[in-house]
Structures are given as C-alpha cells and as structure tokens.
C-alpha cells in the first residue's frame, strides 16, 4: 500500500482536492507547520514510516456499507491485521462474496482474507455466544482473536436492553451492548479474561497492532455504527453507548493518533437510519420504495428510513473524523447504469458529477466507490 502523510494531532493542515493527469483526484496540503515545505514534510513522514494504518468509519447513522468496503480493502491490500473497535454486537455488517451473504455482528469484516488476523480491541463489549457462533459459521477459527480486556455481555444485559426506556424510547437493538457499557463505566463488568470459552482466542490486541506496524505490516482498523450515532457527537439521546468516531475507534484498539496514516469515512449515496431519532428530510415509505431505497437493519430487521444525500452532514462527519478520503457506496442504486462498473471513466456524467460534488464540498478525494452488492463491485481510485 502506498504510504500517505500521517494524521498527526499536533498538525492542523487544510486539504484541497486537485485532479491529476490520470483523472484521479488527490489530496494536497495547503499549508505546513513551522514553515516546512510540502516536499520536506513528505520526506519526513516517509522516513519515519514505511507502512500504513487505515481507519474506516461510518459517516452517517450506520448502514453505509462499511462491511463491504472493509472486506474489499482487506482482500485488496492484504493487511497483516484487521482490528475492530466500536460498541458491540448492536452493529451489523452485511458482506456479499460471490453467491454467499454474511451477516456479521462481532467478527471483524476482514475475515474473507484468510491470511489476515482479525481482532477485537479492548474497547469493545462482546457477546461470547454471538462471537463463537460467527467464528464457527464463517470458518475463522485460525484467525480470530480478542483482547483480554474486552467487556462481556451477559444474559442480564440483554434483558435490560430489551424493554423499558432503552427499547421503547431510544430504540435499542436489545443486544445488551448499552447496559454492558454502563456496567463497565461502573467497574462491575466481567471481562473476556474471565470467560473460559474465550481463553483460546485471547491476545494483547494493542501490542499486536503496534508490533505489526513496527515490523512494517499494514493494519486496517474497522469502525462500527456511524458518526452521528456517537455518544459525544451524535443526535443524543438517540445514539449508541460510546464514541464511534475515528478517535474513539483508535482508542478502542490501542492505536495512538500519530500512527494513523489514512482515515476513510464511508458514505452511502443516500442517507438511511434505522429506529428512532431525527432524520432531516426523510422520505415517505412510498417514495423510498419507489426509488429502490427500502432497506432493513442487519441486526434488528427493522425498516430503515431514507433521505437524499446530506452534504452538510457529510462535511461535519469529515471534520469530526479528520477524514483524509472517503468511500461512497450504492452508487448503482442512485444511478442504476453504474452497476458493476470498475472504472470511473465508464460512469455516466451525472454519476461523475455527484461524486465530484462531494469531493468539492468535503475537500477530500473519493478513494473507493461501490457499484454493486458484491465485495468486488468497486471502483478503486487510490494511487497505486
């Protein structure tokens, strides 16, 4: 993977998108800290790092297609580790590989790359039954690990999450994630190190992640939910039980900010939201169905409300996550003639205009574009 300029918390650098001779659009830094030239900064970063840590997060309310994008990056870029942060099994990813569809709630979505180790960071709460079932069903026994400090969801947490205010007002998934995170804040939650059935999967995930980077291996960091379900930055109280922006996901897996090279925010070509909570300019069920935007949540099966792409929401997501690039999914649903396309040049003018309008508004490039439900239905515009 090509090495990118690191995202450093002490360096505030504005970004512009500029077209190149090959028709791709790449990020260019406008100003540089302490009077350093662009060339000098690049040389410093390249001398310091020869590998890439990429963080992938959702830009709206979840349901953006992160599972597809992460699965594609995991198979295309062959990272040493795919590591998951986030809240818990209240987040679901759907992955279609050939004729098979996987619905994943706990196992990192990079498991399709059988050479990658897939790990769950200590910031995640885990339902052992769900995790062990997915490991078995998806044949990931030789590649799946979780940190000893992952919190454990017990039956009592699921019961608390399945009724009362959390279910009736907030629209909780009933997975037990919120109550488990609540108990963790109270320091009463059991941890993975206390569960016998998980003993063979325990690893020091932060150590493994940082050691892989130190050894010159790539790491892919998988976020869950979406920016505006963040406990800090979302539509409170209709949010999940912790922060799920890039900063929170990195904390979940033990990755410091100076070791992150790319932050990819995933947007769907339209906005959807499952359950309760505000959704600006939501379409009627009839109109959503007419446009082919009727969808259902991976975890709960509940219908998703839909709205047109929200540029102001996308811009805020890019800001909150420190995005260096974005992925756009389901362009083929918005523009059916894009279905299966693998080249940006093959897209119709209206589709290109839509992608470019997002790039111009956000000031970052569209790195990966989804053009169909299969993992391989992708236009990859990243520099080789």
Q: Tell me the β-bridge partners of 117.
A: 81
Is residue 297 within 8 Å of 274, Cβ to Cβ? yes
SS3 367: strand
User: pLDDT digits over 82-94, tens only?
Assistant: 999 999 998 778 8
Burial 119-154 (b: 16+ CB within 10 A, else e): bbbbbbbbbbebbbebbeebebeebbbbbbbbbbbb
Cβ atoms of 54 and 262 closer than 8 Å: yes
Instruction: Give the mean pLDDT of 214-233.
Output: 96
pLDDT given at position 90: 86
Cα 258 from Cα 306, distance rounded (Å): 37
11-39 pLDDT tens trace: 333 444 444 444 444 443 333 344 544 34
The DSSP 8-state label assigned to residue 325 in this structure reads: E
Quote the CA–CA distance of 178 and 158 in Å, as a whole number. 9
> How confident is residue 168, by pLDDT bands cut at 50, 70 and 90?
low
In this prediction, residue 166 has a pLDDT band, given cuts at 50, 70 and 90, of confident
Other beta carbons less than 10 A from residue 51's beta carbon: 18
Q: Report the SS3 class of residue 19.
A: strand
Angle (deg, nearest 10), helices 349-362 and 311-321: 50
103 CB neighbour count, 10 Å cutoff: 13
Q: Is the pLDDT of residue 135 over 60?
A: yes
Indicate if the pLDDT at residue 226 is higher than 60. yes
With 50 as the cut, is the pLDDT of residue 155 above it? yes
User: Which pTM value belongs to this model?
Assistant: 0.85
pLDDT over 50 at 167, yes or no: yes
Residue 150, pLDDT score: 98
Can you tell me the mean pLDDT for 302-313? 92
3-class DSSP assignment, residue 222: strand
Q: Is 196 helix (H, G, I), strand (E, B) or coil?
A: helix
- Separation of alpha carbons 131 and 73, rounded Å: 22
Q: What three-state secondary structure class fits 116?
A: coil
CA-based diameter of the chain, in Å?
A: 59
Q: What would the pLDDT profile of 258-279 be if each residue is shown by its tens digit?
A: 999 999 999 999 999 988 899 9
CATH topology assigned to domain 15-380: Adenylosuccinate Synthetase; Chain A, domain 1 (3.40.440)
Say whether pLDDT at 6 is over 50: no
pLDDT at 298: 59
Q: What is the DSSP string of 295-324?
A: EE-TTT-PEEEEEE--HHHHHHHHHHHT-S
Compute the 3-state secondary structure of the chain and give helix, strand, coil in percent, each to the nearest 5.
Answer: 35, 20, 40
Domain boundaries, the chain: 15-380
Contact in structure between 25 and 366 (CB atoms under 8 Å): yes
Residues known to be catalytic: 63, 93
Is the pLDDT confidence value at 235 over 70?
yes
| pLDDT at residue number 93 | 80
């Amino acid at each position: 993977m090509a090495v990118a300029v690191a995202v450093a918390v002490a360096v505030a650098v504005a970004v512009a998108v500029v077209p190149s001779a090959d028709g791709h659009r790449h990020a260019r830094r406008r100003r540089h800290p302490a009077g350093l030239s662009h060339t000098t900064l690049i040389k410093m970063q390249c001398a310091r790092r020869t590998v890439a840590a990429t963080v992938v997060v959702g830009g709206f309310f979840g349901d953006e297609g992160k599972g597809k994008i992460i699965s594609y990056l995991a198979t295309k870029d062959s990272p040493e580790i795919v590591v998951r942060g986030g809240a818990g099994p209240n987040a679901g990813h759907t992955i279609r590989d050939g004729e098979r569809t996987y619905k994943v709630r706990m196992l990192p979505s990079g498991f399709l790359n059988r050479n990658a180790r897939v790990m769950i960071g200590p910031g995640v709460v885990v339902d052992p039954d769900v995790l062990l079932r997915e490991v078995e069903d998806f044949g990931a026994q030789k590649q799946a690990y979780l940190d000893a400090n992952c919190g454990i969801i017990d039956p009592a947490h699921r019961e608390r999450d399945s009724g009362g205010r959390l279910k009736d007002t907030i629209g909780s998934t009933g997975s037990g994630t919120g109550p488990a995170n609540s108990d963790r804040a109270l320091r009463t939650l059991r941890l993975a190190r206390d569960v016998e059935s998980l003993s063979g999967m325990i690893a020091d995930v932060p150590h493994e992640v940082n050691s892989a980077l130190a050894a010159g291996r790539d790491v892919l960091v998988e976020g869950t939910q979406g920016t505006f379900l963040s406990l800090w930055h979302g539509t409170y109280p209709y949010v999940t039980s912790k922060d799920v922006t890039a900063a929170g996901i990195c904390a979940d897996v033990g990755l410091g900010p100076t070791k992150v090279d790319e932050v990819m925010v995933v947007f769907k070509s339209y906005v959807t939201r499952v359950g309760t909570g505000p959704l600006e300019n939501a379409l009627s069920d009839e109109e959503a169905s007419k446009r082919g935007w009727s969808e259902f949540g991976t975890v709960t099966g509940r219908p998703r409300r839909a709205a047109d792409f929200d540029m102001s929401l996308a811009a805020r997501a890019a800001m909150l996550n420190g995005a260096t690039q974005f992925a756009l999914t389901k362009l083929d649903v918005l523009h059916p003639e894009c279905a299966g396309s693998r080249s940006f040049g093959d897209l119709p003018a209206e589709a290109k205009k839509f992608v470019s309008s997002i790039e111009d508004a956000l000031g970052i490039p569209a790195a990966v574009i989804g053009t169909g439900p299969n993992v391989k239905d992708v236009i990859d515009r990243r520099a080789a």
